[in-house]
């Protein structure tokens, strides 16, 4: 990687024909949000959906960055519980009360919860208005702000109500990552590691070498990690926007993760990116047991997560967990089940993931039983 000014922005284009857009990645993008967004505006006014935590830390910086573009904002409560019908309908009603028109712009300013909810509100408001993602967490910068998945949770499960609605622009300001709690940063890093594991062994090598310095705050390394992650996501979304095939690769580690998130009640016991990291380690363990990859692969995955101070095993999750059958049952309710069979993302090695349609339940049970036994 060449040494360059970390506050200079880099651009990744997401090429989706009429729905194409750019993801800008760099320091100070919020401070110049007005100049970045102005070409998209028909009138100099935007409506911002955010949460109370992000509003307290960053909303005035965004207002200043927008310059003479008038900004109106609604701050919803922070946390996953916001991502349901009640706050969604509050957000849509507010946008209507603010007289946001078809040609206006909504800004999603926050992490994954706000990005998904605001994107869905933009998708349905007046049958669809444009929106800009300004993600403020690492997880949102490398994953949820790119690719157009929007939605809310239902009592039947997470993300079951929604729409594909691509943003018109994404501004990933890496300077805000410095305000994240270390645990939240590392949770987002779980998704970064996922990209190396699923499709770029060289990027995983780079993360092994640079991950600790990146987590410690090096802005140039952070920008590179976000850019490479976004580039990989963009190429996959271009091939398969609506997840008919390849886009499922982005779910590496997620079938295990969703079961663990359900088992821990979507609580502080396990953050999403932590579940993804553990899920990736389990997916590589499963791949190795199925004879698809060498033992070295799951060992390297675990060693890197451990070196980063991340959760690696089921033993790292505090409190009780269901037994292996119970966890398998929670996977069985995963929305990615196709025709009653479990679908997993497995790997032939680091950087070589593929979608496997019919994984034997006994092998999954064996992996879970052994992982639970390590909890003692």
274 touches ligand GLY (CB under 6 A): no
Closest CA to 19 of 165, 197, 227: 165
Minimum CB distance to ligand GLY smaller for 136 or for 145: 145
Category of 17 on φ-ψ map: left (φ > 0), alpha (ψ -120 to 50) or beta: left
Report, as residue numbers or ranges, the catalytic residues.
Answer: 127, 149, 191, 233, 243, 247, 251, 254, 258, 272
DSSP state of 208: H
Minimum CB distance to ligand GLY smaller for 54 or for 252: 252
Nearest distance from C-beta of residue 149 to ligand GLY, angstroms: 5
Nearest distance from C-beta of residue 28 to ligand GLY, angstroms: 27
d(CA 187, CA 151): 21
Category of 88 on φ-ψ map: left (φ > 0), alpha (ψ -120 to 50) or beta: alpha
Q: Which stretch binds ligand GLY (CB under 6 A): 24-32, 142-150, 155-163, 342-350?
A: 142-150
Minimum CB distance to ligand GLY smaller for 244 or for 339: 244
Burial of 367 (0-12, 13-18, 19+ CB in 10 A): buried
Category of 112 on φ-ψ map: left (φ > 0), alpha (ψ -120 to 50) or beta: alpha
Closest CA to 21 of 159, 170, 227, 124: 170
Minimum CB distance to ligand GLY smaller for 233 or for 302: 233
Q: Which stretch binds ligand GLY (CB under 6 A): 5-13, 141-149, 276-284, 346-354?
A: 141-149
> How many angstroms separate the first and last alpha carbons of the chain?
43
Answer for which of 36, 87, 104, 143 binds ligand GLY (CB under 6 A) is: 143
d(CA 268, CA 370): 24
Q: Which stretch binds ligand GLY (CB under 6 A): 71-79, 103-111, 121-129, 143-151?
A: 143-151
147 touches ligand GLY (CB under 6 A): yes
194 touches ligand GLY (CB under 6 A): no
DSSP run (H or E) holding 48 = strand 45-51
Nearest distance from C-beta of residue 219 to ligand GLY, angstroms: 25
Nearest distance from C-beta of residue 243 to ligand GLY, angstroms: 6
Minimum CB distance to ligand GLY smaller for 86 or for 338: 338
190 touches ligand GLY (CB under 6 A): no
Minimum CB distance to ligand GLY smaller for 83 or for 247: 247
Q: Is 284 helix (H, G, I), strand (E, B) or coil?
A: helix
Q: Residue with CB nearest ligand GLY?
A: 250
d(CA 70, CA 311): 43
Which phi and psi angles does 324 have, rounded to 5°? Answer: -60, -40
Nearest distance from C-beta of residue 247 to ligand GLY, angstroms: 5
Which residues in 238-257 contact ligand GLY (CB under 6 A)? 247, 250
Size of residue set near ligand GLY by CB under 6 A: 5
Q: Return the number of other C-beta atoms located less than 10 Å from residue 4's C-beta.
A: 11
149 touches ligand GLY (CB under 6 A): yes
What is the contact surface with ligand GLY in residues (CB under 6 A)?
143, 147, 149, 247, 250
């Amino acid at each position: 990687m060449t040494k360059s000014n970390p506050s200079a922005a880099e651009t990744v284009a997401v090429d989706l024909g009429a729905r194409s857009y750019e993801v800008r990645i760099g320091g100070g993008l919020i401070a110049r949000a007005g100049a970045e967004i102005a070409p998209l505006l028909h009138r100099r006014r935007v409506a911002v959906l955010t949460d109370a935590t992000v509003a307290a830390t960053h909303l005035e910086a965004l207002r200043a960055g927008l310059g003479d573009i008038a900004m109106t904002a609604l701050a919803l409560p922070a946390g996953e519980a916001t991502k349901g019908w009640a706050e969604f309908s509050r957000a849509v009603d507010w946008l209507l009360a603010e007289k946001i028109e078809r040609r206006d712009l909504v800004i999603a300013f926050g992490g994954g919860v706000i990005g998904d909810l605001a994107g869905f509100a933009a998708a349905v408001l007046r049958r669809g208005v444009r929106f800009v993602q300004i993600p403020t967490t690492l997880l949102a910068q490398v994953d949820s702000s790119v690719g157009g998945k929007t939605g809310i949770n239902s009592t039947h499960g997470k993300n079951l109500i929604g729409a594909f609605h691509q943003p018109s622009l994404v501004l990933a300001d890496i300077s805000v990552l410095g305000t994240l709690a270390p645990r939240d940063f590392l949770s987002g890093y779980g998704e970064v590691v996922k990209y190396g594991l699923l499709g770029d062994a060289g990027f995983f090598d780079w993360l092994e070498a640079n991950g600790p310095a990146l987590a410690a705050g090096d802005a140039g390394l952070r920008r590179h990690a976000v850019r490479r992650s976004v580039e990989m996501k963009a190429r996959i979304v271009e091939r398969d926007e609506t997840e008919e095939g390849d886009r499922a690769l982005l779910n590496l580690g997620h079938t295990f993760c969703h079961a663990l998130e359900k088992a821990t009640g979507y609580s502080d016991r396990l953050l999403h990116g932590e579940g993804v990291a553990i899920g990736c380690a389990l997916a590589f363990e499963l791949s190795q047991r199925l004879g698809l990859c060498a033992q070295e692969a799951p060992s390297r995955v675990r060693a890197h997560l451990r070196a980063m101070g991340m959760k690696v095993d089921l033993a790292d999750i505090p409190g009780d967990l269901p037994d292996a059958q119970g966890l398998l049952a929670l996977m069985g309710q995963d929305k990615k089940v196709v025709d009653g069979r479990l679908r997993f993302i497995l790997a032939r090695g680091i950087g070589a993931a593929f979608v496997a349609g019919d994984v034997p339940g006994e092998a999954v049970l064996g992996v879970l039983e052994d992982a639970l036994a390590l909890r003692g």
